[in-house]
Amino acid sequence: MDLYAAEDKDGGMQEERFDIYDEAETWIGTAARSEVHAQGFWHRSFHCWLCRRDGSRKLVLFQQRSSDKDTFPLHYDITAAGHLTAGETMRDAYREVEEELGIPVQFDSLLPLGETRHEAVGTAKGVSFIDREISSVYGLVYEGTLADLHLQVEEVAGVYEADLEVMIALFENELAQVTVTGMECTGDGTLRAAERVVKAADFVPRPFTYYAGLFRTLLAQL
Distance CA 84, CA 179 (A): 33
Classify domain 5-221 at the CATH topology level: Nucleoside Triphosphate Pyrophosphohydrolase (3.90.79)
Nearest 5 degrees, angle CA 149-CA 68-CA 89?
Answer: 60
Query: pTM of the entire structure?
Result: 0.89
- 47-74 pLDDT, tens digit each: 999 999 999 999 999 999 999 988 889 9
Confidence of residue 9 (pLDDT cuts 50, 70, 90): very low
- 138-188 pLDDT, tens digit each: 999 999 999 999 999 999 999 999 999 999 999 999 999 999 999 999 877
Q: Where do the domains of the chain lie?
A: 5-221
Q: Counting Cβ atoms within 10 Å, is residue 15 exposed (0-12), middle (13-18) or buried (19+)? A: middle
- 101-139 pLDDT, tens digit each: 999 999 999 999 999 999 988 887 788 889 999 999 999
Sign of the Cα pseudo-torsion (55, 95, 150, 79, in order): negative
For position 1, what pLDDT does the model report?
A: 32
For position 125, what pLDDT does the model report?
A: 77
Confidence of residue 4 (pLDDT cuts 50, 70, 90): very low
β-strands 17-21, 27-32 pairing:
antiparallel
216 closest CA partner among 80, 56, 76, 60: 60
Q: Counting Cβ atoms within 10 Å, is residue 34 exposed (0-12), middle (13-18) or buried (19+)? A: middle
Distance CA 211, CA 37 (A): 24
Residue 116 to residues 12, 103, 106, 107, 133, Cα–Cα distance (Å)? 35, 25, 23, 19, 8
Confidence of residue 13 (pLDDT cuts 50, 70, 90): low
Confidence of residue 7 (pLDDT cuts 50, 70, 90): very low
